[in-house]
C-alpha cells in the first residue's frame, strides 16, 4: 500500500488576519504580529501541518544554552580544543572544536519535527548518522551520550547519567563550503560537473518509493504562501502580492492538468529517498564533493521526486545570480541520470524551482516572526522578497515553455 503524502515538502496552510502596518518611524509590534497570526491558526489541524508552527512547553530538565556554554568552558568533549566555537540554529547547537563538530538537538517540537524527548533525540541522532553516511561517510563519525555527574557535564563521558546525545562529525574546511566559495567567486564549471556526477549516482542507487499523492494537499502546500502577504505588506512590500497571486493561479492549473504526470513519475521510479535540503550551504567542494546534512527528521521532506531534490540546488544558484552554473549542473546530471524525457517534465522542473523559491520565502517569514528584533525581521522580509521576485522569473520561464508547446 502506498503511503499518502501531501506533497514533496508537505507544507501546511496558515490563516493570517490583517496585520498592523509598520513604518520606519513606527516599528512593527512583533509580539502582536506573532500573536495575531498564531491566534488565527485552527487548533484542530495545527499539530499536523508544516506551516502552522507549534512550540511546546520545554521540559526544564532538558539541555539549555547555559549547559552548552558550560561544556564549552570546561572543554568537556573528546578533543583538546583551544577555543571551541558555538553555532546555534533554531533546532540545534553545534560546538566546533579544532578537529570535530558536536551537534546536539534542541529539545523542542514543531509540526514537522519532534525532538521533545531524550529517546527521540537519540533516535534522530542515529538516523542522521545513518542517512548522511550515504553521501558523507567520512564526515559523520558516531553518536555520543552527554553525561551529567553532579554539576559536571561532558560529551562522551563514561560515568554519570545520560542527559542528551551528540552527533560527532569531522570538522570540515569551511573554505571549501560551496556557499562561501560562491561568495568569493571561486566556483567553476568543473565543480558543478563533479557535483552532478555525485548526485546522479546517488539518485540512481537510492531507494525507490511508491507514495500516493494528494492533489488537495499539494495545492494547499503551495498556496499557503498567500498567508504571508499581510506580513510582507507590513514591511512595505505591497508589490509582491500580484506575483504571489500569479504563482497561485499557475500552480493550481499546473497541478490539475499534470497530476497524471506526477503519478506516472512515481510508477517510473523517479520518487526516491533523496536528500531533501540540497543547497550550497550543505556542500563541500572537495574532490569528490561532499554533500551533508540531509533531512533526517521528516521522511516526507526527503522522499521526493529527484527533480524536486535538485531543483532546490538550481534555485539556490539562480538566487545567487549564477544561472549558468545551474544550467551546467542540470545538463550534466541529466546526461548521467535522465530524469527529464518530455516537454511536460521540463515544465515540471521549472514548477519545482518555483515551489522551492516559495518554500524559501515562507521559511524566511517564519524566521522573521520568531525574532524579537525589528531589524532582523525586516532583513528576513527583504530576503523573502528576493525569492518572490525569483518566483516571477520562474513564472516567465514557465510561460515561455508553455508557448513553445503550443
Grid cell, residue 80, equals 583538546
Among 171, 196, 219, residue at a domain's last position: 171
Does residue 167 share a domain with residue 190?
no
Tell whether 247 is covered by a domain.
Answer: yes
Does residue 218 share a domain with residue 146?
no
Grid cell, residue 399, equals 510561460
Grid cell, residue 40, equals 488565527
Among 112, 142, 171, residue at a domain's last position: 171
pLDDT number for residue 62: 86
Output the pTM of the full model.
0.83
Tell whether 20 is covered by a domain.
Answer: no
Neighbours of 119 (CB within 10 A): 9
Among 171, 194, 210, residue at a domain's last position: 171
Does residue 393 share a domain with residue 245?
yes
Who contacts 220 (Cβ-Cβ below 8 Å, separation ≥6)? Answer: 6, 12, 13
Does residue 317 share a domain with residue 205?
yes
Does residue 209 share a domain with residue 72?
no
Does residue 246 share a domain with residue 133?
no
Does residue 134 share a domain with residue 278?
no
Burial of residue 376, with CB atoms counted within 10 A of its CB: 0-12 exposed, 13-18 middle, 19 or more buried: middle
pLDDT number for residue 33: 43
Tell whether 340 is covered by a domain.
Answer: yes
Does residue 249 share a domain with residue 209?
yes
CATH code for the domain in which residue 111 is found: 3.30.200
- The CA distance from 139 to 292, in Å, is 8
Does residue 80 share a domain with residue 156?
yes
CATH code for the domain in which residue 230 is found: 3.90.1200.10
Which CA distances in Å does 368 have to 56, 228, 363, 381? Answer: 19, 11, 9, 7
| pLDDT per residue of the chain (406 residues) written in tens, 0 to 9 | 555 544 434 333 343 333 333 444 444 444 444 444 444 444 444 434 433 333 333 333 689 999 999 999 999 998 877 789 999 988 999 999 999 999 999 999 988 899 999 999 999 999 999 999 999 999 999 999 999 999 999 999 999 999 999 999 999 999 999 999 999 999 999 999 999 999 999 999 999 999 999 999 999 999 999 999 998 999 888 889 999 999 999 999 999 999 999 999 999 999 999 999 999 999 999 999 999 999 999 999 999 999 999 999 999 999 999 999 999 999 999 999 999 999 999 999 999 999 999 999 998 988 888 777 899 999 999 999 999 999 999 999 998 887 666 5
pLDDT number for residue 83: 85
Does residue 399 share a domain with residue 283?
yes
Tell whether 6 is covered by a domain.
Answer: no
Range of the domain at 134: 65-171
Does residue 322 share a domain with residue 237?
yes
> Crossing angle, helix 30-39 and helix 343-370, to 10 degrees?
120
Cα angle, residue 40 at apex, residues 36 and 41 outer, rounded to 5°: 125
Does residue 240 share a domain with residue 117?
no
pLDDT number for residue 71: 95
Tell whether 13 is covered by a domain.
Answer: no
Give the β-pairing of 109-110 and 113-114. antiparallel
Tell whether 54 is covered by a domain.
Answer: no
Tell whether 2 is covered by a domain.
Answer: no
Number of separate domains in the chain: 2
Tell whether 328 is covered by a domain.
Answer: yes
Amino acid at each position: 500500500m502506498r503511503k499518502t503524502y501531501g506533497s514533496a515538502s508537505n507544507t501546511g496552510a496558515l490563516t493570517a488576519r490583517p496585520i498592523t502596518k509598520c513604518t520606519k518611524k513606527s516599528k512593527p509590534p512583533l509580539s502582536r504580529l506573532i500573536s495575531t497570526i498564531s491566534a488565527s491558526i485552527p487548533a484542530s489541524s495545527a499539530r499536523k501541518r508544516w506551516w502552522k508552527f507549534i512550540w511546546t512547553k520545554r521540559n526544564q530538565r532538558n539541555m539549555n544554552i547555559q549547559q552548552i556554554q558550560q561544556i564549552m568552558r570546561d572543554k568537556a568533549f573528546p578533543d583538546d580544543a583551544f577555543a571551541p566555537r558555538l553555532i546555534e540554529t533554531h533546532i540545534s547547537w553545534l560546538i566546533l572544536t579544532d578537529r570535530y563538530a558536536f551537534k546536539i538537538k534542541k529539545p523542542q517540537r514543531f509540526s514537522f519535527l519532534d525532538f521533545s524527548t531524550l529517546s527521540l533525540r537519540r533516535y534522530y541522532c542515529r538516523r542522521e548518522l545513518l542517512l548522511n553516511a550515504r553521501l558523507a561517510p567520512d564526515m559523520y563519525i558516531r553518536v555520543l551520550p552527554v553525561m551529567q555527574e553532579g554539576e559536571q557535564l561532558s560529551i562522551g563521558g563514561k560515568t554519570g547519567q545520560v542527559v542528551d546525545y551528540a552527533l560527532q562529525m569531522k570538522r570540515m574546511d569551511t573554505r571549501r563550503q560551496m556557499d562561501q566559495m560562491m561568495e568569493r567567486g571561486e566556483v567553476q564549471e568543473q565543480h558543478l560537473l563533479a557535483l552532478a556526477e555525485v548526485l546522479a549516482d546517488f539518485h540512481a542507487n537510492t531507494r525507490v518509493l511508491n507514495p500516493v499523492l494528494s492533489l488537495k494537499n499539494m495545492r494547499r502546500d503551495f498556496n499557503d504562501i498567500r498567508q504571508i502577504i499581510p506580513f510582507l505588506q507590513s514591511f512595505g512590500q505591497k508589490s509582491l502580492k500580484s506575483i504571489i497571486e500569479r504563482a497561485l493561479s499557475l500552480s493550481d492549473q499546473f497541478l490539475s492538468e499534470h497530476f497524471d504526470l506526477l503519478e506516472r513519475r512515481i510508477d517510473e521510479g523517479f520518487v526516491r529517498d533523496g536528500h531533501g535540503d540540497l543547497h550550497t550551504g550543505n556542500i563541500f567542494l572537495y574532490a569528490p564533493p561532499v554533500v551533508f546534512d540531509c533531512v533526517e527528521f521528516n521522511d516526507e521532506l526527503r522522499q521526493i521526486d529527484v527533480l524536486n531534490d535538485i531543483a532546490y540546488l538550481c534555485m539556490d544558484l539562480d538566487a545567487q545570480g549564477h544561472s549558468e552554473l545551474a544550467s551546467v549542473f542540470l545538463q550534466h546530471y541529466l546526461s548521467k541520470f535522465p530524469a527529464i524525457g518530455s516537454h511536460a517534465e521540463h515544465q515540471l522542473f521549472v514548477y519545482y524551482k518555483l515551489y522551492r523559491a516559495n518554500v524559501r520565502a515562507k521559511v524566511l517569514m517564519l524566521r522573521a516572526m520568531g525574532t524579537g528584533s525589528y531589524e532582523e525581521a525586516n532583513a528576513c522580509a527583504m530576503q523573502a522578497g528576493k525569492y518572490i521576485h525569483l518566483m516571477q522569473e520562474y513564472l516567465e520561464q514557465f510561460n515561455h515553455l508553455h508557448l513553445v508547446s503550443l
